[in-house]
Amino acid sequence: MDYLEIVGGNKLSGEITISGAKNAALPVVAATILSDKEVKLTNLPNVVDIRTLIKLLGMLGSEVDHKETTAVINNGSINSTKAVYEIVSQMRASILVLGPLLTRFGECEVSLPGGCAIGQRPIDLHLKALEAMGAHIEIKGGYVRAEAPDGLKGAKIVFDKITVGGTENIVMAAALAHGTTTIINAAREPEVVQLCQMISDAGVQIDGIGTGILSIEGTGGEPLTFDSPVEIIPDRIEAGTYLCAGAITKSEITLNKVNQEHIQASIDKLESMGCSFTMDADSITIHPAEKLLPVNLITTEYPGFPTDMQAQFMAVAVISSGESLIEERLFENRFMHVSELNRLGANIWLKGNTAAIHPVEELNGAVVMATDLRASSALVLAALVANGTTKVRRIYHLDRGYDDLEGKLSSLGADITRKSE
């Protein structure tokens, strides 16, 4: 089993390039199902989750030529619409094939995603919306069986909660539906915008892209043609994670290939902690605070502060100069990193969905365990400033969503090595 061994105390310097966004690439790969011709994707992140979803497409009969950061996918050869448990249980985002398979083929069977460390993460809103579009949904033996033999019908969908995956599934389902679908209370994340742009570029009329109200004019069952290659947008969470690395180690580092608009919430909070920034067209340099100030965070949907940055900021707050408060509003169990950070010497207390982070003078290396993707990166950040050596186990969580994290940190001067035990 791989682990990361990190010796804390090094200053970082230099620059790295941010990879394509995992959470944009996943719906884009799923959306290729809407076409029966070749689609070219570029700037894919080289991470496990992308390889898993592409493996799933292969199992459905897709022809995929996948190199590290590019893929040419032809779904003209799909001969199965069953997404099996073995794959879906590895990655819950596989549920994003539900909408495209159903709207293209009129029926599909997708395993219910398994549980997840950060919360129950139900898909009730996805299923309710598809039923409103005329699908017959049955849950049996751990599978969602969906049928719409005459195709899906445009409908008015009001989401009780803002759901990124739910919005993405319905946008894809609506693309080939008969008539217009309106989604009210839609997610506005940049990853949702990229998906809408990709489908719109293929000729589907979508109004309201980037807003909470989307209107999609379906093709009535006609598959799409994606003429131009889709270049995945930069990963705003990866970028935010490395900005936190600069802040916590009090280092000046530069990130290339970022979209500054997408990371405004993280920039704003790091500025409130005393950091400053120099920005060029698509790069950003962090000038660290001499003395990190405490921070108060409430996670919310985009463009608010992202839940996927909560753990990383908690690590930075641990060594700031006062008490910080972090309220997690999106997931019911996204504080698994707290007990691990406390093993490194942090002093964090939980009350319901709020964490109080009391500052400590120093952290000390220990053996810690990653529990989920973003928690893992928070432990790595803390290890960069802990005295001595830290061992971060179960880093398969990290490999799902960070492209060569130890390589990028090493190139900045961190003492970090991947080992096996």
Does residue 26 belong to the site contacting ligand EPZ (CB under 6 A)? yes
Interacting residues with ligand EPZ between 391 and 410 (CB under 6 A):
401
Residue 416 within binding range of ligand EPZ, rule CB under 6 A? no
By CB under 6 A, is residue 163 in contact with ligand EPZ?
Answer: yes
Considering only the stretches 156-164, 202-210, 259-267, 280-288, report the one whose residues sit in contact with ligand EPZ under the rule CB under 6 A.
156-164
- The reply to whether 23 sits near ligand EPZ by the rule CB under 6 A is yes
Stretch that binds ligand EPZ, among 161-169, 198-206, 257-265, 336-344 (CB under 6 A): 161-169
Least distance in angstroms from the C-beta of 57 to ligand EPZ:
16
Quote the least distance from Cβ 340 to ligand EPZ, whole Å. Answer: 16
Contact flags string 311-330 toward ligand EPZ, x per CB under 6 A? -------------------x
Cα–Cα dist 200/350, whole Å = 44
Q: Does 240 bind ligand EPZ (CB under 6 A)?
A: no
3-state secondary structure of 419: strand
Work out which of 40, 51, 55, 121 binds ligand EPZ, going by CB under 6 A: 121
Name the β-bridge partners of 253: 14, 286
The count of other CB atoms within 10 Å of the CB of residue 241 is 27
Site string for ligand EPZ, 272-311 (x = CB under 6 A): -----------------------------------xx---
**Closest distance of CB 329 from ligand EPZ, Å:** 9
Site for ligand EPZ in 328-367 (CB under 6 A): 330-331
Alpha-carbon distance values, 56 to 52, 194, 221 (Å):
6, 22, 23
Peptide bond into 303 cis (omega under 30): yes
The reply to whether omega before 100 is within 30° of 0 (cis) is no
| Spatial contact of 280 and 253, defined as CB atoms under 8 Å apart | no
The two three-digit tokens of residue 177, written as one number: 């539906």
Amino acid present at 201: D
Neighbours of 164 (CB within 10 A): 21
By CB under 6 A, tell whether 124 contacts ligand EPZ.
yes
Give the nearest distance from C-beta 77 to ligand EPZ in angstroms: 26
Judged by CB under 6 A, the residue of 250, 374, 391, 397 near ligand EPZ is 374
> Min. distance of Cβ 37 from ligand EPZ in angstroms?
26
Spatial contact of 74 and 37, defined as CB atoms under 8 Å apart:
yes
Listed ranges 123-131, 193-201, 209-217, 349-357: which one lies at the site for ligand EPZ (CB under 6 A):
123-131
Helix (H, G, I), strand (E, B) or coil at 183: strand
Q: Does 126 bind ligand EPZ (CB under 6 A)?
A: yes
Pair 16, 397: CB distance under 8 Å: no
Question: Interacting stretch for ligand EPZ, rule CB under 6 A, among 5-13, 149-157, 162-170, 406-414?
Answer: 162-170
- Do residues 263 and 242 lie in contact, with contact meaning Cβ atoms separated by under 8 Å? no
Binding-site member from 164, 186, 326, 409 for ligand EPZ (CB under 6 A): 164
Q: How far apart are CA 16 and CA 242, in angstroms?
A: 9
Residues 172-211, interacting with ligand EPZ (CB under 6 A): 191
**Could you give the C-alpha distances from 203 to 198, 221, 230, 299, 349, in angstroms and in order?**
9, 13, 14, 35, 52
CA geometry: angle 261, 263, 264, nearest 5 deg: 70
Number of residues that bind ligand EPZ (CB under 6 A): 23
Q: Which residue is nearest to ligand EPZ (CB)?
A: 165
**How far, in Å, CA of 156 to CA of 122, rounded?**
21
Catalytic pick among 116, 196, 244, 275: 116
Give kind and range of the element (H or E) at residue 231.
Answer: strand 230-231
| Structure-token pair, residue 199 | 């489908």
Q: Check residue 87 and report its DSSP letter.
A: H
Instruction: Assess whether 196 carries a catalytic annotation.
Output: no
Catalytic residue positions, numbered: 116
Residue ranges binding ligand EPZ (CB under 6 A): 23, 26, 93, 119, 121-126, 161, 163-166, 191, 307-308, 330-331, 373-374, 401
